[in-house]
Amino acid sequence: MRPNLHPRLVNGRFGDPGLFVEMLHRREALLFDLGDLSPLSTRDLLRVGHVFVTHMHMDHFIGFDALLRVSVGRQKTIRMVGPRGFADRVHHKLLAYEWDLVDRYEADLVFETTEMLAHKRTRRARFRFKRAFAREDLDEAEAPDGIVAAGDGFTVHASLLEHHGPCLGFAVAEPEHANVWKVRLTERGLPTGPWLQALKRAVGQGRSGDWPIALPDGTNVPLGRLRDLVTLSEGQKIAYVTDVGDTPANRAAIVRLARGADLMFIEASFAASDADRARARAHLTTRAAGEIARTAGVRRVEPFHFSPRYEGEEARLLAEVEGAFRGEA
pLDDT in tens, 119-152: 789 999 999 999 999 999 999 999 988 999 999 8
**CB neighbour list of residue 6: distance below 8 Å, 6 or more residues apart:** 21, 22, 23, 24
Listed residue (76, 67, 69) closest to 97, CA to CA: 69
Structural domains for the chain: 1-174 (3.60.15.10), 176-234 (no CATH)
CB distance 126 to 136 below 8 Å: yes
Instruction: Tell me: pLDDT of 329 over 70.
Output: no
Q: Looking at 216-309, which runs of residues are DSSP E strands?
A: 220-222, 230-234, 237-241, 263-267, 301-304
How far is residue 319's CA from residue 75's CA, in Å, rounded to a whole number? 46
Residue-level pLDDT at 12: 96
What is the Rg, in whole angstroms, of the alpha carbon atoms belonging to the chain?
Answer: 22
User: For the residues 3-7, what does the mean pLDDT come to?
Assistant: 88
pLDDT score of 119: 76
Question: What is the mean pLDDT of the segment spanning 160-173?
Answer: 96
User: What does the pLDDT look like over 87-115, one tens digit per residue?
Assistant: 999 999 999 999 999 999 999 999 999 99
pLDDT tier for residue 1 given thresholds of 50, 70 and 90: low
The rounded distance, in Å, linking the Cα atoms of 15 and 144 is: 34
> In the prediction, which pLDDT does 243 show?
97
